[in-house]
Amino acid sequence: MSTSTNKQSLKGMLWTWAALTVIGVIIGLYAPAWIMPKSMSNNMHLTILTMVVFTVAAAPVAAGVYATALFALTRWTHKGNDVPSAGPAVRENAMVVTTWLVVSTLLTVFLLIWGLGALAVDNGSTGKNPLVVDVTGQQWVWSFSYPGTHVSSPDLYLPLNREVEFRVTALDVTHGFWIANMGVQVDANVGTITTIHTTPDKLGTFDIRCTQFCGLNHAFMVTEGHVLTAQQFTSWLASQPQRA
């Protein structure tokens, strides 16, 4: 292979890489919001944003590997049935290895910083008068009670724009408490209370599904949740039968 065709092929590879990167970035920008459930909380906005950022960051790397592989397949394959002659005996290239290590380390550091920052926002509490909800899982139902009210409900009702603190536990085996529309998930463990926070910011209905295998009817451990306006929520609470 002459130097000029090498240059040409590398140029073609660059174009392939650029095109694949653009495709990856477009997928990254639009696919998460399109496929994932409608966002109903601050945590879910962050979840989708993180998905977008990571996909966009990974796009050029993945595109680089795919572009090279495609080029290898089209330009560097041996034609014919005889044994190919040897390729260039390149064993080391300090520049390439160093660059690769530096770039992959920088990318990792970026992902890590983003992740730690997002983690702090995600799991933190605003501390502003959160509504506490006690969540109890048992085979194969959820129940929700509102401390201070004696109200207990098989469905979850939440007021709009007020932080909720879920205190989650289980009676028999471990269950997984997950609100797909709100980007929050924590296990319900026997004899322990685990806590998560979120702030619902859209009115509407959502599903609560169990994410931890819990036996026979695991697939049917689904409950509805509702985000109401503050007024609706108060009147809902008042209308509920008071259990001791």
Partner 1 sequence: MTTTLEQAKTAAIPQGGGLHRRLNMATAMIGGIVFASLFWYLAHHFLDATSRTYSDEVAGSLTIGWIVGFWLGIGAFVAPLRWLIGRDNTRADDLYLAGQGQGTSRYWKFTTDHKVVGVQYIIMTMVLLGAGGILAMAIRTELIVPGNHFVNQQVYNGFIAVHGMLMILALIVAVAGPWGNFVVPIMCGARDMAFPRLNALSLWTLVGAAGLLLTTLAVGSLTMGWVVLEPIADQAGVGMDFFAMAIIVFTVSTTVAGVNTICTILTMRTKGMTLARLPIFVWGAIIAAALGLYAFPYFSLVEAQTLMDRTFSTSFFVANAGGTGWLQANLFWLMGHPEVYVILLPAVAALFEIAAVMSRKPVFSYRSAVAGMTGLAGLSILVWAHHMFTTGWAPTLGGPFMLTTELISIPTGLFFLVLIGTLWRGNIWMKLPTIWMFGFIANFIIAGVTGIYLSDIPLDDQLHGTMFVTAHFHYVFVGSVLFGAVSALAFWYPKVTGRFLNEFMGRISFWLTFIGVQVTFLAMFASGLRGMPRRYSSYAFIFEHTNLMTTIGAYIIMAGMLVLLGAVITSWNKGEPAGPNPWHANSLEWMVPTPVPLENFEVLPVITEDPYNYGEELVRS
The footprint of Cu ion on residues 122-181 (CB under 5 A) is none
Distances (CA, A) of 140 to 36, 115, 150: 25, 34, 22
- Residues 53 and 118: their CA atoms lie apart, in Å, by 12
Residue 218 near partner 1 by CB under 8 A: yes
Find out whether 182 and 202 touch, Cβ atoms under 8 Å: no
DSSP 111: H
Output the six-digit token pair for 220. Answer: 């049917």
Residues 20-49 that bind partner 1 (CB under 8 A): 32, 35-37, 43-44, 46-47
Q: Which does 147 bind (CB under 5 to 8 A by kind): Cu ion, partner 1, none?
A: none
Stretch near Cu ion under the rule CB under 5 A, chosen from 54-62, 65-73, 201-209, 212-220: 212-220
DSSP 153: E
Comparing CB distances to Cu ion, the nearer of 214 and 228 is 214
Residues 103-162 that bind partner 1 (CB under 8 A): 104-105, 107-108, 111-112, 114-116, 118-119, 121-123
- Residues 235 and 237: their CA atoms lie apart, in Å, by 5
Q: In what order do the strands lie in the sheet with 151-153?
A: 151-153, 141-146, 131-138, 164-170, 194-198
Comparing CB distances to partner 1, the nearer of 37 and 130 is 37
**In the bound complex, what is the minimum distance in angstroms from residue 28's beta carbon to partner 1?**
10
**In the bound complex, what is the minimum distance in angstroms from residue 140's beta carbon to partner 1?**
11
**In the bound complex, what is the minimum distance in angstroms from residue 92's beta carbon to partner 1?**
6
Q: Which does 164 bind (CB under 5 to 8 A by kind): partner 1, Cu ion, none?
A: none
Distances (CA, A) of 211 to 43, 130, 179, 208: 18, 25, 10, 9
Distances (CA, A) of 136 to 76, 103, 123, 230: 61, 46, 20, 24
Number of residues that bind partner 1 (CB under 8 A): 88
- Could you say which of 100, 125, 126, 229 contacts partner 1 (CB under 8 A)? 100
Stretch near Cu ion under the rule CB under 5 A, chosen from 74-82, 100-108, 181-189, 211-219: 211-219
Q: Which residues pair with 175 in a beta bridge?
A: 188
Q: Which residues bind Cu ion (CB under 5 A)?
A: 210, 214, 218, 221
